Amino acid sequence: MTTLHATTSALDDKVVLVTGGTGSFGKAFVQRALASRAKKIIVFSRDEQKHYVMEREIKDKRLRFFVGDIRDRDRLQSALRGVDVVVHAAAMKHVPICEYNPIEAVQTNVNGARNLIEAAMSCGVQRVIALSTDKAVSPANLYGATKLCMEKLLLAANAYSGDRATRFSCVRYGNVMGSAGSVIPLFRAQRSRGQLTITDARMTRFWIEMEDAVNLVLRGLQLMRGGEIYIPKLPTTDIETLAEAVAPGVPRTCVGIRPGEKLHETLISTEEARRTSDLGELLVIWPEFAFHSTNTNVRVGEPVPDDFTYSSDCASPRLGLEETRAMVARVA
């Protein structure tokens, strides 16, 4: 299903730091970065045990491990000295946990973003690209609200940076298949017990493979001038089709939507469509302002219609059962 292709050229001869580098995305990105000509790759994460495991799994002299929390600006400042490129993947991301621990979610997702911005500008980092989510569009839960705030902070940071070197952009995508907390591993575990739980039969979601998520970030690093949000073109499924693909014939119980969940997710709102272009391989939401002299508000690509909305209930392609089975089969 991979449709987006990217090279690692944006990492060549660079020192790269990945926040949340021991997470599902972080590990996949680090593996890809090690195939580049990057000078050094720094894994920044607060989880000591995951550092321990990852350090023994991956042997490369360019790899460094830096235990730290993005809530700690001084620690970030130390970690970012000499860094050229930052991929910001650290976050609290589980919707129910963020709902019940709102201050913790704000501390990490919002205050952590501010700390990263300030430390990156102070250290002269060239490019910062952050991972966002479809839940940031018209958010219905605290997680989405904190990621929307993170987007706004990162994009506006280009104004603070001005004509200095540091540039900030984001990528925004849907559910990563098989990542920590994904419903696919949950369904597989429930399959062995002979009973699946679904929230609402009408629910739809965007899906992206980890390889495509990594490619999107690499492509964003290649294209970014500062202030853009890059969005991939993704397939969707409804929850019933996904459940049948993972666990055919297994009985299902509807348990209702969890706190903060939506029936459908949106990657681009109608309001954002007015400044969105289709680049063929992906979509890009352009910044509302010319933050700096290198951002001339020249928008390449084909503008999308003004009434365009990229929502999982109406986006194409909608995967059928066999296509969904093929997608699920690629998830380890």
- Residues that are catalytic: 135
Are the C-beta atoms of residues 7 and 53 closer than 8 Å to each other?
Answer: no
Q: How far is CA 28 from the centre of its chain?
A: 12
Burial of 169 per CB tally in 10 Å (0-12, 13-18, 19+):
buried
In angstroms, the CA 88 to CA 112 distance is 10
In angstroms, the CA 44 to CA 67 distance is 6
What values do phi and psi take at 45, rounded to 5? -160, 155
State yes or no: cis peptide before 102, omega within 30 of 0: no
In angstroms, the CA 22 to CA 65 distance is 10
In angstroms, the CA 252 to CA 168 distance is 44
Q: Tokens 């997608």 — which residue?
A: 327
